[in-house]
Structure formats: structure tokens, C-alpha cells
Structure 1
Amino acid sequence: MESYKYDLHVHTREGSACGRASGAEMAEAAAQQGYAGLVITDHFFNGNTTAAPELSWQEKVQVLKEGYLHAKQRGEQLGLEVFFGWEFGYSGSDFLTYGLDTDWLLAHPDVHKLPLYDYLQLVRQAGGMTIHAHPFREAWYVHVMRLVPELEDAVEVYNTSHQNPAFNARAAWYAEAYGLTGVSGSDAHSQEALKGGILLPHPVHSIRELMTAIRNREMVGLCTGTEIEWKSERRDRDSGRR
């Protein structure tokens, strides 16, 4: 059975100060590696953003979208779907945010200053989706690990940029313990880091379609960074078993 690979967590140098490749370059690398699509999730204004603090809110939003727009333009030339999101940061806790657009951002100036719980509630009320990125990552800037299972739509159980496998193992335990959907993302800041993603049995052509597929747990496999973890239903179909 054919499958379609989507990376859910990708950065660009236009929007993320830690990014090392442009949106166009990330799109080119993804197409070369057989991805069907990716989500550009540059750091929000409470993270490692390239948006200078003195910019107006409208100017900050333009900076946030620049990498996505470049990736989308190149993706259209290559047959690669590119979707818009961002990575909301709160003192070391990070949440990929999907399904909200420029109009929503412009209508919510300084939303990056909200406490985490209030932000997650606001996104859910607006019909958006949040994925808890690398919830058990250990780093110098992570002082507290915050878990909000009642307001998380999914958990990144494979962050393929991790060097310590324990971080992913703990995330998988957390998702299973709370009945949350587990997904995979590269957290790629350069072309060679594109190693993560989910596999779907069908293509999706909008961020809403991707969100629906995640919510319905339609994934047939998750990229671990070195191989594919096939879901049991996919293995059963491929082998002709029920």
C-alpha cells in the first residue's frame, strides 16, 4: 500500500534564529527525500525568533510567515505540500500550533505573552491544534517540564533531532499513559536533519485535512529517524491478515 510522508516540525532561517536553511531549501530537500508535505513551524515570538522585539505586531507576523511563504512557493514548483504553523514557547515548553492563520494572529496581538494554559485554551477555542513538542527534552534552558494533557491534541513521541533516545521513550510513555496521539517530527533546522514525520495512507492538501488525519489517528507509520515504526493495522493489511 502506498503511503505519504509529512514532516510536522520544520524550521527555516527566515523565521528561526537557529535555522540554517531557507524555506525554499527545506522544501527542495523534502521533495528530494520523498516527502509529500511538511509544516513550517518557526519559533514564535516567545522563542528563538528572528523577529526583532521593536517591530510592530504586523511586522512580526510578516517575519514569522516569510520562511513558510518561500517554502510554499518552491513546494508548488516541486509538487510538495507546505503548510503553516508555529512553535509556541513557554520557558522551555514548546507547542506546535496548527490551523490558525494570519488573520487570527493579527486579531490577537501579544498572544505570545499569555500564560501557557491560557494560550492552549485560546487555540482550542479557535479550532486550532497543538502538538506538545519534545516534552521530555533536557537542556540548559529547560528548568521545568510542563504537561497539560487535557489541552494537548498530540504528543511528539519521535523528535528525530534527539541524540538521547530516553527523551523520545518518555514522550511515548506519556502519550500512552494519557491516551494521546503520538506523532513524529524532525525539528529540522537544516536540510540533512529532515528525518522525521508521519505516514498517511492518503495525501492531504490543507492543514485542516492534516489535522483531521492526526485527530482520527490515520497514521500508518511514524519515522523514528533511522527507520519506520509501522502501525499494527498497516502491517496486518500488508501481510493480508486481519
Structure 2
Amino acid sequence: MKIDMHCHTKEGSLDGKVPIEEYIRLLRDQGFGGMLVTDHDSYGGYRQWKNHIKGRRYEDFHVFKGVEYDTLDAGHIIVIMPENIKLRLLELRGIPVQMLIPIVHNYGGVLGPAHPCGEKFMSFMNAKAYKRNPDILNEFDFMEVFNACEPVEVNEKARKVAEEYGLVGTGGSDAHKADCVGLAYTQIPDHITCESQLIDYIKSKPSMDCGGTIYRNTTKEKMGKAKTFMTHSFWVYNKIGGWSKAIKRSSK
């Protein structure tokens, strides 16, 4: 079964332009059997599917619950939790990665860096946590080795890192717009129909077939040099988020 393991929806991501039902239709039309919803620090898109679509339409299509979590010091991390686990914490951005990893594992989940060799601050290999302690890579369960919104050389570097550390490689479109949907895939067995089964499969360390086509219409390509400002803005965004949480915790 072909699935997209990096999907942003209008209902769950502030920068998402594609409603989840449209996302499903687009993927089904391209021969996909499922998707992992990975909205930014939110399960909004997944909830829209679960509360309004599941069991009513698209019963031949599997929607898996995930999140693209904005850490304080390690960029974007894709997290998949068992279907019976609800962690509100994963919708509150800004946890340091060395706190995030044991939380996810203790509750039976798996996690791995999204676009690990991409932009500074947003990508693990170019973030503070990796530079401080590269061995953190050994604590991840998988790594995104093909991202349709990253250049070829960036994906190739990610694939080499995953191979070096023995991490399962995944592929996802990272689509925020309709014309990017379906540009990346990961092949998984047809019998996988829920998050727990997907987690168990990843833990078995399979050699997963993944790949796709590079998207040439990303916002960062259009911005050119201005993308440097965008990446530094992300750093400030997460720093402020982390400080505000620390203040709230200390006042309780």
C-alpha cells in the first residue's frame, strides 16, 4: 500500500491550504491507500476526519494520526502515537527533544526527524541539539529521507545519514498546497490499518520503499534570500514559546 507520510491540512496547520477531504480525494485518485496526517503541533485535520468523515466515506482509504512537532532545539519531528493514546502535550510546541523522546517512547509511540538536512532551526541536522549531541540520532525510530519540498541533494544527504545510523527511511510530500499532494510516497504492507500496526512495523526496522518527485513551487524557493529571515523567525517563534511555557510552569 502506498501512503504519504507527511501531510498538512487546512483544518490543522495554519499554513495548510488543502482540506483533509480534498487531500484524501487527491491521493485516492493517484492510487494511494492512505496518509499520515502531520499537522504542525495539532491534530485538527485528523479530528476533522475522525468526527465528520470516518465510517461515512472513503472506507477503502486509511488515515493515520501523526503530528509534526516543533521542538525547542531540534527542529521538526514527526511523531506517531498509538490510536488509544491522547497526549495534549504534543499540541503545545517547544519541548526540548531530549524530553520529547522519552515521553513518546514511554507511551508506545515512535518519532523521527522531518526533512532532517533542510533549513537551519527547522531541521535536526542543522539544529542546536544535534550539534550539542549527535548521538541523539540513535534514539530516533525513523528518519524522513525523501521530502518532496526539499532539493535532491538534501534528500540524498538524509538518506545517507539514515543508512549510517540504521534508521528506517520514510517519504512524504510535506504538501501544504493541492499541487504538491501525492508527490512522495512510502510503501507499507496492505494489512496495516491503524497507528499501532504502523508503529510495530516501523519498530521492526523494515527496508521501506519510498521516494517521489521534487516540488518546484515551494514558498522558500519563491522567497529566495528572504527565506533566511523566515528561518530565523522560526527560531524566535519557538524560543518565545519555550520561555512563555517556562514562566507559566514556574508560576504554578
Q: What TM-score do you get using the length of structure 2 for normalisation?
A: 0.71
Whether 2:175 is the aligned partner of 1:188: answer yes
Q: How many angstroms does 1:103 deviate by?
A: 5.3
Which residue, out of 13, 16, 20, partners 2:13? 16
Cross-structure match for 1:119: 100
In the alignment, the residues of structure 2 paired with residue 186 and residue 192 of structure 1 have an alpha-carbon distance, to the nearest angstrom, of 10
Q: How many angstroms does 1:101 deviate by?
A: 5.4
Amino acid at match of 1:205: T
Q: How many angstroms does 1:202 deviate by?
A: 2.7
**Map of 1:122-137 to 2, 5 A cutoff?**
122-137=103-118
Judged with a 3 Å threshold, the aligned counterparts in structure 2 of structure 1 residues 201 and 90 are, in CA distance, closer, same or farther, namely closer
Cross-structure match for 1:233: none
- Please, what is the CA RMSD of the aligned residues? 2.5
Unaligned runs of 5+ in 1: 45-63, 227-242
Unaligned runs of 5+ in 2: 131-135, 215-252
Amino acid at match of 1:20: K
The Cα offsets for residues 59-111 of structure 1, whole Å up to 9 and x where unpaired, read as: xxxxx3331133455465122100111111125611111015585324x4885
Cross-structure match for 2:47: 69
**Map of 1:161-176 to 2, 5 A cutoff?**
161-162=149-150, 164-176=151-163
Cross-structure match for 1:199: 187
Q: How many angstroms does 1:220 deviate by?
A: 5.1
Q: 3-state SS of the aligned residue for 1:104?
A: coil
Judged with a 3 Å threshold, the aligned counterparts in structure 2 of structure 1 residues 19 and 151 are, in CA distance, closer, same or farther, namely same
Residues 43, 91 of structure 2: 8 Å contact kept: no
Amino acid at match of 1:144: A
Query: Comparing 14-23 with 84-93, which one deviates more in the overlay?
Result: 84-93
Q: What TM-score do you get using the length of structure 1 for normalisation?
A: 0.74
Instruction: Give the number of the structure whose residues are more often helix, by fraction.
Output: 2
Amino acid at match of 2:127: V
The Cα offsets for residues 155-185 of structure 1, whole Å up to 9 and x where unpaired, read as: 10101121x2111111111111111111111
Judged with a 3 Å threshold, the aligned counterparts in structure 2 of structure 1 residues 124 and 109 are, in CA distance, closer, same or farther, namely closer
Residues 11, 19 of structure 1: 8 Å contact kept: yes
Residues 99, 207 of structure 1: 8 Å contact kept: yes
Amino acid at match of 1:131: G
Cross-structure match for 1:225: 213
Query: Comparing 25-34 with 184-193, which one deviates more in the overlay?
Result: 184-193
Q: 3-state SS of the aligned residue for 1:112?
A: coil
Q: How many angstroms does 1:192 deviate by?
A: 2.2
In the alignment, the residues of structure 2 paired with residue 133 and residue 212 of structure 1 have an alpha-carbon distance, to the nearest angstrom, of 20
Judged with a 3 Å threshold, the aligned counterparts in structure 2 of structure 1 residues 136 and 71 are, in CA distance, closer, same or farther, namely same
In the alignment, the residues of structure 2 paired with residue 31 and residue 219 of structure 1 have an alpha-carbon distance, to the nearest angstrom, of 24
Q: How many angstroms does 1:224 deviate by?
A: 2.8
Q: How many angstroms does 1:218 deviate by?
A: 3.9
Residues 86, 97 of structure 1: 8 Å contact kept: yes
Amino acid at match of 1:170: K
Among all aligned residue pairs of Structure 1 and Structure 2, give the percentage whose two residues are the same amino acid. Answer: 26
Q: How many angstroms does 1:5 deviate by?
A: 0.2
The alignment covers a number of residue pairs equal to 202
Instruction: Give the number of the structure whose residues are more often strand, by fraction.
Output: 1
